[in-house]
Amino acid sequence: MGAIARAVRREGGRTVGVIPAALAETEVADRDADELVVTDGMRARKAEMDRRSDAFLALPGGIGTLEELLEVWVAKSLDMHPKPVIVLDPWGDLRPLHYLVESLARSGFVSPRAAAEVRWTDQVAQALDALTVEPELPVGFEPASPVELLEADID
């Protein structure tokens, strides 16, 4: 995360760090962030990131990344948010997870809709294209056609 934040700032972008107080105290915090939000704990951190996010992009990472990916994926599959969830997996590190979920869907443990809620790519350009925020549809609204979606009265 630090390398990405530094690269964003180097190119003139704005960064926001969200970190639990316990980790901020161990000097893990990105003190150069344009905004640094210190939370009471990990759950508050994730709630703050969820609130601020328009989309979720998982990059190669460790178990924390995996846990956060699964949490936003499950929430999307339960219609708890309409935000895009994208996995950018340039080296195939998360390919076994993709295959596992597809297998679970074939076995009936994961609905095909839930399995399809994540967009997988190994290309940066495709990941950026997938970040387009989807319209917030009312729960249960399933347009029969693109025309019906365009004509829907959605706030």
- pLDDT given for residue 25 in this prediction: 82
pLDDT of residue 1 exceeding 90, the answer is: no
- pLDDT given for residue 141 in this prediction: 60
- pLDDT given for residue 139 in this prediction: 59
- pLDDT given for residue 28 in this prediction: 82
- Name the pLDDT band for 155 (thresholds 50, 70, 90): very low
Contact 86, 53 (CB under 8 A): no
pLDDT tens-digit series, residues 117-153: 999 999 999 999 888 755 555 556 666 655 555 555 5
pLDDT tens-digit series, residues 4-54: 899 999 999 999 999 999 998 887 889 899 999 999 999 999 999 999 999
pLDDT of residue 87 exceeding 80, the answer is: yes
Pair of tokens at residue 12: 């003139």
pLDDT tens-digit series, residues 94-124: 999 999 999 999 999 999 999 999 999 999 9
Contact 50, 83 (CB under 8 A): no
Contact 89, 121 (CB under 8 A): yes
Pair of tokens at residue 102: 């597809």
User: Which residue from 51, 52, 24, 53 is spatially nearest to 36, judged by alpha carbons?
Assistant: 24
List the chain domain ranges: 1-52, 55-155
- pLDDT given for residue 26 in this prediction: 83
The burial of 86, by beta-carbon neighbours within 10 Å (0-12 exposed, 13-18 middle, 19 or more buried), is given as buried
DSSP code, position 6: H
Give the architecture-level CATH label for domain 55-155.
3-Layer(aba) Sandwich (3.40)
